Amino acid sequence: MSAKESILSAPYFHDEQAAYEFVEARLWPNGPICPKCGVINGHYKLKGKSTRIGVYKCKACRKPFRVTVNTVFESSHIPLRVWLQALFMIASSKKGISSNQLSRALRITVNSAWFMSHRIREAMREGNLAPFGVNGGAVEVDETYIGTDPAFQKIYDMRRYGNRQKYKVLGLVDRETKQARSFVVDDMRAATVHPIVRENIAREARLMTDESPLYKRLGRQFAQHGVVNHRRMEYVKAGNPDIHSNTVEGLFSVFKRGMHGTYQHCAHNHLHRYLAEFDFRYNNRTANGVNDTERADKILKGVYGKRLTYETTTV
């Protein structure tokens, strides 16, 4: 492809055969793998006139298969080239892209665009369990609130109970690796938050939080606990500019702008996938040396083993 040519002119966005070859090259770098018996390169390609594109047959178990089996693309009636277009659009949109806009751009129904978006978000879930701050680096922790939980809307009055009726999100950002990890939590109590922080942050890390009493006792379990008092309009510790929580606040800023401006509404049982989407783009942003094409490639490599059906979307 020419340097001046648009990325959207790539053959795999327009030709179904090219789309399958593109996906196969990334999911099967060492050759086709049978999803039934696991045999590598023990296959032959079916080339009949009525045969679907990209179908192989395993010589060992004699079962037909395609590269879409056991991925988010499995059993989809939408052409693979359209999937790749949607995947690139979501990967390259900093604050996300709504199902309505996706349906108009791809000329599919809104329901299909909504389900497709959730499947792609599922592929964006990284599942990295390595703790933050392993080299004694600074890790920022903060909480935020978004939306309104219908289960509490009639019970709590915001003027009296503040954020209790909102969805609760806990965010962690490792300054050294520039990686983020967000969690949907049921409440902001120590019994809920402390285990999450301890499991995801190394003990030698330097914990950075605001003045919330939620972190006061927790901070003693780490090498250092830096605190800024937002109530006193303190956003960077005087005399020690290393102590602040502005990085995780920036993560929440992009997340909320996307949720309020693009998606506008999100049910509680889908919030974890939206968090996965924004975490993925944050962790693979341009500042970390990842461009739009590379980001889309990373999503594509994460589609395997994450099949999501319409019935299980709420799980």
pLDDT digits (tens, 9 = 90+) for 177-227: 999 999 999 999 999 999 999 999 999 999 999 999 999 999 999 999 999
123 and 142 part of one domain: no
119 and 156 part of one domain: no
Q: What is the CATH number of the domain that holds 262?
A: 3.30.420.10
Instruction: Look up the pTM and report it.
Output: 0.91
Contact criterion met (CB below 8 Å) for 165 and 158: yes
50 pLDDT tier (thresholds 50, 70, 90): confident
Higher pLDDT pick, 151 / 256: 256
142 and 123 part of one domain: no
Answer yes or no: is 196 within a domain. Answer: yes
Nearest to 279 by CA among 145, 132, 172: 172
94 and 32 part of one domain: yes
Alpha-carbon distance of 40 to 107, in angstroms, equals 37
